[in-house]
Amino acid sequence: MPEKGLVQIYTGAGKGKTTVAFGLALRAAGHGKKVLIYQFLKPKSLKTGERIAIKSTKLSIKIKAFTMPWDMTKAFSNKKTISSAKSVISKTLKKIASIAEKKTCDLLILDEIVFCLSKGLAELKDVKNIIDKRETSVEIILTGRGASRELIEMADLVTEMKEIKHPFRKGICARRGIEF
């Protein structure tokens, strides 16, 4: 009997949600599973350590980045940017539903989709469609701040990262190789 894929959510204001997801990607790939990661709101131009490291390996991990420019500090004040992001995210989620249904991967990670949902950039029905249409053995990981009660109800495992102390509060900016 094939294993049933679960839905996992990593949410909360604390650091580590994406890091956990990439750790699971490495674990899965290490056991010969195919991994597909979609990073929402993290455009290709953002050179993250995770992408650089995985690209240099022969692991079965594919990473797709957000297909439009995005600056978290400015984007939410620009209605045109918000409208474009909603459109891109909606189209991407429809493609992902087809991928999950055809089981072209064993582990599907939707990095920052929870944040997109919390900010109204994505529709819960589109994420639910992915969960419902996926081939039953596909494991799904959703990351980002602000998981709603309804989203949490759809999941099998939910972990909340709780911020207790953070260097940003002291004015220490994100550091290459540590935060990205």
pLDDT at residue 105 in the model: 97
Q: What strands, in cross-sheet order, belong to the sheet with 107-111?
A: 61-66, 35-43, 107-111, 139-143, 7-11, 157-160
pLDDT in tens, 67-98: 888 888 888 888 999 999 999 999 999 999 99
The structural domains of the chain, ordered by start, are 7-170 (3.40.50.300)
pLDDT at residue 75 in the model: 84
CA–CA separation, 6 vs 100, rounded Å? 13
Per DSSP (E only), the strands in the chain are 7-11, 35-43, 61-66, 107-111, 139-143, 157-160
| Token pair listed for 64 | 């797709």
pTM: 0.92
Residue 83: count other Cβ atoms within 10 Å of its Cβ: 11
Q: Which residue has the tokens 């909603």?
A: 86
pLDDT in tens, 22-80: 999 999 999 999 999 999 999 988 889 999 999 999 999 999 998 888 888 888 888 99
Instruction: Give the type of residue at 138.
Output: V
